[in-house]
Structure 1
């Protein structure tokens, strides 16, 4: 199922392209023909980047996730679309291709958008076979486009277009609005990023790597920029920049840059995010005239001095204890002499 993982990685990348402040409803459909431990037909529902529900051909029912409210009523159109469009379409295409390899995998990624002014945005649907996109549909501003390497009959294309414009698109927008009402607390939460600018020595090159790391933020939209002497570093010099999920539902992003040992530039990192009132800027502070590795000898020197001082203290305490014992022993002998004389 490695091709399924590739598809989901592409999806995660696509999720980051949604406009900041907008909301989207995603349907991730998978149809598998062949012997696998997975259901033959399944659909995952996502509101923005939150998984809100799941349907598969084994349970034959919609199961909401992370919510106690019954949401079956707001996804009724999706079941209609699955019964009349998606599953029959997949079966027909798989039969038409007549592939012999098993298992055969068909996937659909479809989403519609609501912009921040509650204006309906575009709806895009992509169909993939064995990890490669084969068909793509786009609808916005009453314009429908369909791209496919296989030519579809004119009547079938017109019927597909009509159903997409009159049923799928308006129903998706209505469902998205209903979801937003039920899940507004979840989708509107904001968590500030923790931003660090880190420098790490590279033993191979003798230089170092400067990395700007932002983590623990939500929602996923973030602009992370590395600056050299106040100017943005060119994209071709930077590695990383992928948006990655954390276990707690937040996100992280890292951008890195390799510099030489003789580099004298000043580096900073800035982040802009919906949770921040202003841009957050973090500086990289170190002495350019002192090699980065010189920190290690300095630490070792301090530790050595601490050990010497500790040994001196222990020796002094031992000598002081021995002196006290001698004085106590002398005093005890004197007292015994006095007592003998008295008797």
Structure 2
């Protein structure tokens, strides 16, 4: 199966300290006989689904809206009806595969709005069976192409025109949605941050910084050792994952030797739009303390077992002796 990915992001969010926003279009084109529409689109403001489109209805259907969005629906419907089907088919024609049966094609483009004096850009990625094979960058009205397939100058000019047109229209649509979906996009949920340590299969210790239940999705999560950030090449994880309630979670972990855990102080910091200040959680205790605290408890339990055991033995002897005395008295002489 072959995949082409399309995504349109405006003002691509890269830092938690900036309240940036994006407009996403995920376009799917299916070749072959299936019960699904041949062409469909899901489009989102940040991570809020704002509408759906397919080639059978030929009109956008708003999702989760409480305001009148007829103008936005008309703009996107016209855009998708007039421009997307021929462009997607051209892409598919250039990167045709030999797979038999139904084939799913998707297109992914990233559009970034300029910040102050910066120049805006759009990036399109093409993938085959989940792996990126081709990539296009559109910046300052210039398109560059890198990929496994050879394309003609005519095709490059067509791609440049498409990116210029999509960038202009996407910016207009995003500005309209930012006003009408203001309540949804301003939602804030604070993260719950924990610092966890547990024994690893290799005999060492895994220290993990976990943040969960936060919204929006942009967060700066850092694992610190003696107050200094642990370098990325020492860490595992770091992927942003969705929760079932619409919030997000992220985990960053480092595996260390047990003796190293006793030498360093670990902590976890989180920066998020819902927090007034940086949140810091510390894992700071003597690694041998748990064993020290367990010893008195174990001794106490053993002492109680000995006391109850001795009491039970005494009771049993007395009970046996009492029964023997009763038997002796009742036995005829």
Q: TM-score, normalised by structure 2?
A: 0.76
How many pairs were matched up?
A: 304
Higher relative contact order (CA 8 A, sep 6+): 2
Per-residue displacement from partner, 1:202-229 (whole Å, max 9, x unpaired)?
A: 4x44433211110111111111111112
Distance 1:232 1:55 in 2: 45
Distance 1:60 1:293 in 2: 68
**3-state SS, counterpart of residue 259 of structure 2:** coil
**3-state SS, counterpart of residue 83 of structure 2:** helix
1:228 is the counterpart of 2:225: yes
Distance 1:11 1:143 in 2: 18
Partner of 2:331 in structure 1? none
The CA deviation at 1:103 is 1.9
The CA deviation at 1:196 is 0.8
Q: Is the 8 A contact 1:23 1:115 kept in 2?
A: no
Distance 2:302 2:295 in 1: 10
Per-residue displacement from partner, 1:133-174 (whole Å, max 9, x unpaired)?
A: 454333333333344544444345434433532x32211100
Per-residue displacement from partner, 1:258-281 (whole Å, max 9, x unpaired)?
A: 233323121111111122222111
Distance 1:298 1:254 in 2: 35
Choose the corresponding residue for 1:255, options 235, 243, 252: 252
Distance 1:28 1:55 in 2: 10
**3-state SS, counterpart of residue 23 of structure 1:** coil
The CA deviation at 1:77 is 4.0
Distance 2:77 2:215 in 1: 31
Distance 2:304 2:13 in 1: 52
The CA deviation at 1:255 is 1.0
Q: 1:234 to 1:111 in 2, by over 3 A?
A: closer
Partner of 2:268 in structure 1? 269
1:287 is the counterpart of 2:286: yes
How big is the alpha-carbon RMSD for the aligned residues of Structure 1 and Structure 2?
3.7
Distance 1:172 1:11 in 2: 8
Choose the corresponding residue for 1:25, options 23, 28, 32: 23
Q: Which has the higher helix share?
A: 1
Distance 1:299 1:71 in 2: 66
Partner of 2:138 in structure 1? 139
Distance 2:303 2:181 in 1: 60
Q: What are the ranges of 5 or more consecutive residues in structure 2 without an aligned counterpart?
A: 309-333
**3-state SS, counterpart of residue 217 of structure 2:** coil
Q: Is the 8 A contact 1:43 1:56 kept in 2?
A: yes
**3-state SS, counterpart of residue 66 of structure 1:** coil
Q: Is the 8 A contact 1:241 1:255 kept in 2?
A: yes
Q: 1:120 to 1:216 in 2, by over 3 A?
A: farther
**3-state SS, counterpart of residue 166 of structure 2:** helix
1:63 is the counterpart of 2:61: yes
Per-residue displacement from partner, 1:36-83 (whole Å, max 9, x unpaired)?
A: 343211111011121111111233321111113342421444334433
Distance 1:241 1:118 in 2: 31
Q: How does 1:1-343 map to 2 (within 5 A)?
A: 17=14, 20-95=18-93, 97=96, 99-114=98-113, 121-165=120-164, 167-202=165-200, 204-263=201-260, 264=262, 265-290=264-289, 292=290
Per-residue displacement from partner, 1:240-264 (whole Å, max 9, x unpaired)?
A: 1111011121111011122333231
Q: What are the ranges of 5 or more consecutive residues in structure 1 without an aligned counterpart?
A: 312-343
Q: TM-score, normalised by structure 1?
A: 0.74
